Structure 1
Amino acid sequence: MNVLSQNHRLHCLSDAETTAQTLAQQFALTAVERDRTGGTAKYERDLIRQSGLLALSIPAEFGGLSARWQDVLNIVRIFAQADSSLAHVFAFHHLHLATVRLFGHTSQWHNWFKLTAEKSWFWGNALNPLDKRTIAKPQQQGWYEFSGKKSFCSGAIDSEMLIASAVDEQTGKLFIAAIPSARSGITLYHDWDNIGQRQTDSGSAIFERVRIENKDLLLDPGPLSTPFASLRPLLAQLIFINMFLGVAEGAFAEAQHYTQTEAKAWFLSDVEHANEDPYTLRHYGEFWLQLESLRLLNQHAIQKFQHAWDLADKLTVTERGEVALSIATAKVAATRTSLDITNRMFEVMGARATHAALRLDRFWRNVRTQTLHDPVEYKLKDIGNWALNNRYPKASFYS
């Protein structure tokens, strides 16, 4: 049954949060079972398609809703509170739309934006710059062939478009292309079976002599070629921050409900109810402090990023560095906060909360899996280099 009534379909930007909350409530009902089974959340992804949220970040002139990044990331956070796998594929969809905007020519992203809004396309990932097993071979006719394997292809299954990368066999240059997921020669595998983020379909892909036309390649201005183009990895990091914050908030809500309704007071506590135990209250006080601190750091980083996005080609290297620093700071805090709360939540719920059927460990498993995406120590190194030497983080696909 379609859970989105006509009243909850997205007709304008002001409806976005209500629509997302409606979807998140539906996702929460099946999150435990879907975490157990893994695989593709096809039904839930189709609900997102039907909702209109896939056009959220697309400008109105191309059929979208002209959302600010605050709006998009707020939806990511709402989804992550219920199911961070769906938050992941939704967020990466908008990251890929940003990728074609930042790396591609105007005529390219205008066309892809229109088609995405019109057809409710989902964009998936086959861009992994550290995985250089896919080779781009130039052909005499002026096009390229991509051949090789890709890992961590989040959301590629059940997508209409892919952002894919390959390395030129002659020059070592990185090529990035936007191509239909169903193009001949592409095989997407259901081989993602990790402890967390179990429905992100972050498995592998094989490219066998996939034809890549010049119109598919994002060459103008190209990847990380200008301060504006180098905002792409910073948006990816902002997405992770909001996913981690959403997971921590979801875990906090689950723990709060369990403590109030299920947990038993420890016999030495001299209180009748678990929610009156002074040590339990101390934990919740620390949780709240961490969450409130992270929320403020997150808002600061989003504001910095949006200002940089609005500057577009006028963005300077120094301004880009300021954004990178604010996002690195929030990323470290988000990593620490999410891992701590999703672990210590059991200390305020008690031993019975570890019952396997509850799968309350899914919050920790999800952030543990995703926080390993890039080592947080290197974010601390970047922050330290600023604090000691006044040097901004260098632009890369991870900073």
Structure 2
Amino acid sequence: MTTTATSRTAPPTTATDAADPSAATGTPSPSWPEHPTTAEGWLERAQEVSDLLALDAVERDRANESPFQEVALLKAAGLVTLLGPPEFGGGGQTWETAYTVVRTIARGDGSIGQLLGYHYLWFWTAELVGTDEQRAAFARSATEGTWLIGGAVNPRDDDLTVADEGDELVFNGRKSFSTGGVVSDVTILEGVLQGTDDHVFTAVPTDQEGIVFAGDWDNLGQRLTESGSVRITDVRAPWSDALGYVDKTFHGSVYATLNVPAIQLVFANFYLGIAEGALERATAYTREKTRPWPFGGDDKDSADQEWYILEGYGRLQSTLWADASLIDRTGAAISEILHAPREQLTERRRGEIAVQVAASKLRIVEDGLEVTSRIFELTGARASANSVGLDIYWRNLRTHSLHDPLPYKKREVGEYALAGRVPEPTWYT
């Protein structure tokens, strides 16, 4: 592909530059001279980044500023190129590892976990839709350029219009959501070719006059995801960058429809990370600050001896362990087919994976909302202080879990359980 992108002016590109105590992480970043060589090493790296992000996640959420420094930290740690080919400087890891990395980052900061998870999906767009030549070119450019990739692809809005002007395509329109926004280096655009029903995906540099972000993302949670609206005006891309097109004709496959279950499992993983982060923060608070109840007739010396607190945390922890097991199993299954030859995937197998993803998502949404709410009962009244910041977890999970109605996920699983039917590919299944 011919897409090129330059870094925006604000973000630094090394761990040393990212170590601004007044900005993203509150403490100096560690120096990472080289990439890990194993999945375990990458997960350790992700945990280090997550720990840094957790230090002032609440303060940064309240400030609600564009996360340039946070993205610089992801780049410095090598996490944005986790899926990239090693020969171009990438981590060469699988989607199974990428999902766990997203979850780990979300424990420290749900917004940054979402940014990274969406980036992984957009990084894989050429793999899903592109020709062999486009796949290789995009992987090299994105990896060598350490791009952070965003996307103006919101199916609930009208599609962008795409005009054919000889050797170029011209995109116009508006999207009410566009995760990645001004902190991205490249934006994935999707629209419908005028006069046809054909959809076109391409990648363009974010920093150009024709892409204008409104800066209007001011929601309850996930406040640092740059998910506001965007106006696309006369943005041009060569036909050679239209993913999957040869001589202006699209050549697709069932594999191309994995974009939806792949991103839906990204959701499940950063939901789980948010819930795990809430439980970790709550148990620490209980150990350090929660006082035992002195009027129960069976007084305890400390809160960690209270039977109802022990019972409560036992229930929440066992629930999240069960959810993690389901989500990990689903991640291993979809990772296998994402890395297998594209022509091997059948419609039936794709549908079965989509059902597993739906089951994973519905479980962690319901269980995660319970965890992020019930922790207040186990930490006590003083834990509701804004300075403690336990509210961030519920706000983050509640906000993004409204992405698409959960009852439809339950219906997908129910139809499979009762009749063996798998969902037809749509923008949400």
Q: CA deviation at 1:104?
A: 1.0
Which of 213, 216, 238 is equivalent to 2:238?
213
Q: Cα deviations across residues 110-142 of structure 1 (Å, max 9, x unaligned)?
A: 112112221211111111122115222232x24
Which of 361, 364, 367 is equivalent to 1:331?
361
- Residue type of the alignment partner of 1:382: E
Q: CA deviation at 1:272?
A: 2.3
Correspondence for 1:148: 173
Structure 2: gaps spanning 5 or more residues: 1-15, 20-27
Check whether the contact 1:189–1:204 (CA below 8 A) recurs between aligned residues.
yes
Correspondence for 1:21: 47
Q: In 1, distance between residues paired with 2:73 and 2:106? A: 16
Which of 74, 82, 86 is equivalent to 1:60?
86
Deviates further, 237-246 or 6-15: 6-15
Check whether the contact 2:43–2:101 (CA below 8 A) recurs between aligned residues.
yes
Which of 338, 351, 354 is equivalent to 1:321?
351
Flag as ranges the 4+ runs of structure 1 deviating above 6 A. Answer: 221-224
Structure 1: gaps spanning 5 or more residues: none
Correspondence for 1:70: 96
Q: CA deviation at 1:108?
A: 1.5
Correspondence for 1:93: 119
Q: In 1, distance between residues paired with 2:338 and 2:234? A: 36
Superposition map of 1:84-123 within 5 A: 84-123=110-149
Correspondence for 1:201: 226
Which of 251, 275, 279 is equivalent to 1:248?
275
Q: Secondary structure at the match of 1:356?
A: coil
Correspondence for 2:288: 261
Q: Secondary structure at the match of 2:387?
A: helix
Q: In 2, distance between residues paired with 1:224 and 1:89? A: 30
Which of 253, 262, 269 is equivalent to 1:235?
262
Q: CA deviation at 1:156?
A: 2.4
Q: How many residues align?
A: 398
The percentage of counterpart residues that share the same residue type is 32
Q: CA deviation at 1:7?
A: 5.0
Query: TM-score normalised to the size of structure 1?
Result: 0.95
Q: In 1, distance between residues paired with 2:398 and 2:245? A: 37
Correspondence for 2:184: 159
Check whether the contact 1:8–1:22 (CA below 8 A) recurs between aligned residues.
no
Q: CA deviation at 1:220?
A: 4.2
Q: CA deviation at 1:212?
A: 2.6
Check whether the contact 2:180–2:225 (CA below 8 A) recurs between aligned residues.
yes
Deviates further, 223-232 or 52-61: 223-232
Q: Secondary structure at the match of 1:241?
A: helix
Q: Cα deviations across residues 167-205 of structure 1 (Å, max 9, x unaligned)?
A: 334224322211111244111222111110000000111
Which of 323, 328, 333 is equivalent to 1:299?
328
Q: In 1, distance between residues paired with 2:243 and 2:155? A: 14
Q: Secondary structure at the match of 1:147?
A: strand
Structure 1 pair 368/8, CA: closer, same or farther in 2 (3 Å)? farther
Check whether the contact 1:146–1:166 (CA below 8 A) recurs between aligned residues.
yes
- Over the aligned positions, Cα root-mean-square deviation in angstroms equals 1.9
Correspondence for 1:351: 381
Correspondence for 2:71: 45
Deviates further, 73-82 or 128-137: 128-137
Check whether the contact 1:10–1:53 (CA below 8 A) recurs between aligned residues.
no
- Residue type of the alignment partner of 1:35: D
Check whether the contact 2:106–2:270 (CA below 8 A) recurs between aligned residues.
yes
The answer to whether 1:290 aligns with 2:319 is yes
Q: In 2, distance between residues paired with 1:244 and 1:71? A: 16
Deviates further, 10-19 or 275-284: 10-19
Q: In 1, distance between residues paired with 2:241 and 2:228? A: 23
Query: TM-score normalised to the size of structure 2?
Result: 0.88
Q: In 2, distance between residues paired with 1:60 and 1:8? A: 16
Q: In 2, distance between residues paired with 1:388 and 1:150? A: 38
Q: CA deviation at 1:11?
A: 4.4
Q: In 1, distance between residues paired with 2:53 and 2:139? A: 27
Q: In 1, distance between residues paired with 2:129 and 2:181? A: 20
Check whether the contact 1:123–1:156 (CA below 8 A) recurs between aligned residues.
no
Q: CA deviation at 1:324?
A: 1.2
Q: In 2, distance between residues paired with 1:122 and 1:183? A: 16
